[in-house]
Structure 1
């Protein structure tokens, strides 16, 4: 072996060891490895940062922003709310949620799809009084499977597509992954729906979807806007919808005055305000489902204006707002923020929220653009609670957001624009129409993944140019020379799956794709089945909570232990291998 090969094999071996160890962040490991490679002379200095301008990196970043826009506009919720029901059997619930999760993951980032659907799944588990662990893991696996269906569904598909472009002169297109991905996803969903969930051990953890936590329930006012579906109905007519969202309707405000009692039979009119009690996320969801408007939303430009956020904050003794009301402080006029609700140790009160004197120990709910809410909290002297910020969904933009995305994909598929340019155009439109705010554009991007990918691309290229990937391929072919090509493909997929269970799937795809190409060339067969096999296998991280971010996200809420994942994950990986290899060879012959 040459100096470059020995250096790169040693360096990448150390990188893999550190990634499996997991004590140092994977982006720092990859970036440090890149610097070492440059210092060692195996990566030219002028190529050190070429990976950060790679099209795969740009596409992954843009897909993450598009996913945030879909969530902000309620496009995901628009689909999901029609399938949530606590009355279904567990298998039926898992099947429906898995299909929806897989479908969403095919067009948006699978992490975003899981985060949105996970809340709904936990609500269903809480209402059905069953352990949430029974359905969370199947949902996570289904969103991972759904990502295999299109090029933008999961980062490994993007990495493999762009590698094919560099190696063979043309990338995989948006729907080249669909035939094999659909077969794997449908078979996988059938498994988790009928058998898989029965293999999950009882973690003993019940769902807690309310989200109110220690802050208790808030009393909030929501306005009845023109065209609202509640006009002409009574508060009692809305009780079933309120129960569905874990919200209580306390009364009705008309012309600035609270009507007597609960006003349960009073006909609701335009410009009335419903008085609600619940946790912020439940109230926000009920407001959207009932077609209401948060108090003060019109002054912020409405939900079609700037992206708004809800922030919970504790009122200390020395806060400016102690003993004063929102009207006294002229909070909206001075700071552009609305006092939407107040939580006071579970107490209910007759005063309107804007007229309620604030006391020490209260928890207030502030509504406004994120930057203004932060400034207002500092001015008021209140203490925002970490992890107690909620984005206000702009449901009126859901169809617009979906249409913009569909047009971008259509332009890319038709070959009129490169995918990166089409997605960039969609992001620009979303930013222009405030579907995502300026800060959210940057917050939506998982920068550690970008650093990882940008750092490993030059290393992977150096390994390939030094002949390192050819050596690995020759070793695989030499050890499996008596086997047919389909068996070698299966072995390559097993190795890739195993790596993906312990490493980041982007890193796995970056290393495995050149090896797959070299194996195909050594066997003198088409490289496409091997590249497709790498893409499928790199996404199949079902054995551990560290192989895929979705598995990590559900670990806490589901109460899972590290060793719980393989119980359903191992048979699922074997099943994907059993159906994936024939499907790949059928649609992508050798």
Structure 2
């Protein structure tokens, strides 16, 4: 193949081989490799500088960034938590029912959000289900869940970056653009096939359960704090039962104090009044979510709001919060928070307390501090800086939490649905529809601008921007036609299905060592050139390549989601191969046959 190749073609082959080696060895980060590809193609003059950097403004990169922000909006408004609770309730106690509910739900979510985020969200949920139901085993549920997460991406154009890149390659080749749900014509049958296969072949999987690495025993959870009902609160006049029912996802009630008297929490029909004080247990994210919008504020901060126009809250002020561990020989041990008087002594407020073992049922001010307790402290930055050197604390660490805006859950869901409808109907191009949705999430404060930036996986964005010019250079130098001709000579007079199966399995094997995006960019241009010479639909060939990159389950390293479940499921390498190999064979046959039926 080297004989007769031009200088530019040889240079491109060298750049491609070096890129593949770097991707495989992971000697450098994928985003760094992508930037090196851009520089190499620009410096060698294989493509113009403008084309080399065109990936950053490309539709695939824009859509991926926008979808990350949309997903963050759903997460920060509690929509993903609600979905997790629904799945838990619907899963039941039977193994078949649990597999079906989990897989269909995960596939649906992965069609519109990043599959790795869905896998990470579902992992602790499944581990809890298996812990509560002794007849269910994590190893029987996690591989089906991760499989559904990957298969779900085949139902929409935005499910996986690989499909966006494939669409970009097809448009450059002069082929019709793929619609938002076009790939779903094949993707939906693949999902249904995957669900049926995992249910019928569940006996292949072991009955074991490993450890959930995400379940950190020393994680700051179950913080005890106090809430107070403020003036003009919508809760005034409502019953305790109404509040407990509506706020059960945000906190659990420990005690209720009115004036100086502890109230009977069993009398749930009692109406609430201004100044009612609730001692609760909650999570870090929920702690910073009490912004006074619904008439409940943190008691420790209420004094800071006296005479001020706006309530002082923790929302959006994570940099003004610390968590401090009480040292064994601390002068604070054995004294209550009120006795120490942190506010007058240090100029800070104790907004919550965490204790590894034992119960806290009193108000924060009355808690007798023990060694090992962790205090959540809020105050001016200069005061917090002074506090970090105090000998009474074993260590002082930043407090990381994201405020949950559950009151905007319906709004965030509506924004996501409208974005999908606009893109699906062609009212707006997909990249504009989803970018508009992302901006709507920010403008309506479903997610703040810092959270929006943090939600974007920069590595994925840069990698997409970097591999796009690699595909352009392959087309410009004619390397795609050379490689396509080699494959054509090899396949000879094979049937179209057999030819597409070759491409599917090359892609399936290559994606075990490369990302699905990189695999698609390398093989899709070759598939287009091959299809044109073999008189096969280029769209069918590119779809088969992309499906092979996305829907192959041969090893645990083929998809990052498999790595997440490896330890929690107690899996061995062979467990993935036993169920993944026959499933991939089945999926490849369905994909190739259906591609030729849909795209003649």
- Alignment TM-score, normalising by the size of structure 1: 0.84
How many angstroms does 1:360 deviate by?
5.4
Q: Contact conserved, 1:307 with 1:394, CA < 8 A, in 2?
A: no
How many angstroms does 1:545 deviate by?
3.0
SS in 2 for 1:252: strand
How many angstroms does 1:576 deviate by?
0.9
Aligned to 1:147, which of 153, 173, 182? 153
Instruction: Identify the residue that residue 129 of structure 2 maps to in structure 1.
Output: 124
Matched, 1:135 2:145: no
SS in 1 for 2:154: coil
Against the structure 1 CA distance between its residues 319 and 155, is the aligned structure 2 distance closer, same or farther, given a 3 Å change threshold?
farther
SS in 1 for 2:96: helix
User: Hey, what's the Cα distance between the residues in 1 that align with 2:564 and 2:237?
Assistant: 36
Instruction: Identify the residue that residue 49 of structure 1 maps to in structure 2.
Output: 53
Counterparts of residues 195-344 of structure 1 (less than 5 Å): 195=201, 197-202=202-207, 204-207=209-212, 211-213=216-218, 217-221=222-226, 226=234, 231-233=239-241, 250-255=254-259, 257-259=261-263, 263-264=265-266, 267=269, 269-270=271-272, 272-277=276-281, 295=298, 313-317=323-327, 325=337, 328-330=341-343, 339-344=350-355
How many angstroms does 1:294 deviate by?
7.1
Aligned to 1:161, which of 157, 167, 177? 167
Instruction: Identify the residue that residue 13 of structure 1 maps to in structure 2.
Output: 17
User: Hey, what's the Cα distance between the residues in 2 that align with 1:185 and 1:151?
Assistant: 15
Q: Contact conserved, 1:111 with 1:550, CA < 8 A, in 2?
A: yes
Deviations 1:249-285 (A, max 9, x none): 543333465447xx4456554355554457658x889
User: Hey, what's the Cα distance between the residues in 1 that align with 2:422 and 2:242?
Assistant: 47
How many angstroms does 1:487 deviate by?
1.2
SS in 2 for 1:253: strand
User: Hey, what's the Cα distance between the residues in 2 that align with 1:410 and 1:583?
Assistant: 26
Instruction: Identify the residue that residue 465 of structure 1 maps to in structure 2.
Output: 476
Instruction: Identify the residue that residue 551 of structure 2 maps to in structure 1.
Output: 540
How many angstroms does 1:47 deviate by?
3.2
Matched, 1:107 2:112: yes
Matched, 1:93 2:101: no
Instruction: Identify the residue that residue 482 of structure 1 maps to in structure 2.
Output: 493
Q: Contact conserved, 1:131 with 1:207, CA < 8 A, in 2?
A: no
Aligned to 1:37, which of 38, 41, 55? 41
User: Hey, what's the Cα distance between the residues in 2 that align with 1:193 and 1:456?
Assistant: 37
User: Hey, what's the Cα distance between the residues in 1 that align with 2:331 and 2:544?
Assistant: 62
Deviations 1:149-193 (A, max 9, x none): 011111111111222222226421111112111000111122223
Q: Contact conserved, 1:501 with 1:547, CA < 8 A, in 2?
A: yes
Against the structure 1 CA distance between its residues 552 and 389, is the aligned structure 2 distance closer, same or farther, given a 3 Å change threshold?
farther
Counterparts of residues 62-81 of structure 1 (less than 5 Å): 62-81=66-85
**212-221 vs 465-474, greater mean Cα deviation:** 212-221
Q: Contact conserved, 1:132 with 1:206, CA < 8 A, in 2?
A: no
Gaps in structure 1 of 5+ consecutive residues:
none
Against the structure 1 CA distance between its residues 339 and 482, is the aligned structure 2 distance closer, same or farther, given a 3 Å change threshold?
farther
How many angstroms does 1:146 deviate by?
0.7
Instruction: Identify the residue that residue 552 of structure 1 maps to in structure 2.
Output: 563
**122-131 vs 505-514, greater mean Cα deviation:** 122-131
Against the structure 1 CA distance between its residues 69 and 304, is the aligned structure 2 distance closer, same or farther, given a 3 Å change threshold?
farther
Against the structure 1 CA distance between its residues 74 and 308, is the aligned structure 2 distance closer, same or farther, given a 3 Å change threshold?
farther
Instruction: Identify the residue that residue 190 of structure 2 maps to in structure 1.
Output: 184
Q: Contact conserved, 2:99 with 2:199, CA < 8 A, in 1?
A: yes
Instruction: Identify the residue that residue 65 of structure 2 maps to in structure 1.
Output: 61
**358-367 vs 58-67, greater mean Cα deviation:** 358-367
SS in 2 for 1:315: strand
Q: Contact conserved, 1:126 with 1:209, CA < 8 A, in 2?
A: no
How many angstroms does 1:560 deviate by?
3.6
SS in 2 for 1:566: helix
How many angstroms does 1:42 deviate by?
2.5
Q: What root-mean-square deviation, in Å, do the aligned CA atoms of Structure 1 and Structure 2 show? A: 4.0
**43-52 vs 199-208, greater mean Cα deviation:** 199-208
Against the structure 1 CA distance between its residues 471 and 423, is the aligned structure 2 distance closer, same or farther, given a 3 Å change threshold?
same
Instruction: Identify the residue that residue 582 of structure 1 maps to in structure 2.
Output: 593
Deviations 1:106-160 (A, max 9, x none): 1222222222222221211221245423322211110111111011111111111
User: Hey, what's the Cα distance between the residues in 1 that align with 2:190 and 2:341?
Assistant: 61
Paired residues in the alignment total 569
Q: Contact conserved, 2:38 with 2:469, CA < 8 A, in 1?
A: yes
How many angstroms does 1:315 deviate by?
2.6
Instruction: Identify the residue that residue 439 of structure 1 maps to in structure 2.
Output: 450
Instruction: Identify the residue that residue 528 of structure 2 maps to in structure 1.
Output: 517
Q: Contact conserved, 1:500 with 1:540, CA < 8 A, in 2?
A: no
Against the structure 1 CA distance between its residues 366 and 489, is the aligned structure 2 distance closer, same or farther, given a 3 Å change threshold?
farther
Gaps in structure 2 of 5+ consecutive residues:
none
User: Hey, what's the Cα distance between the residues in 2 that align with 1:476 and 1:384?
Assistant: 62
Q: Contact conserved, 1:8 with 1:42, CA < 8 A, in 2?
A: yes
Q: Contact conserved, 1:304 with 1:397, CA < 8 A, in 2?
A: no
How many angstroms does 1:523 deviate by?
0.9
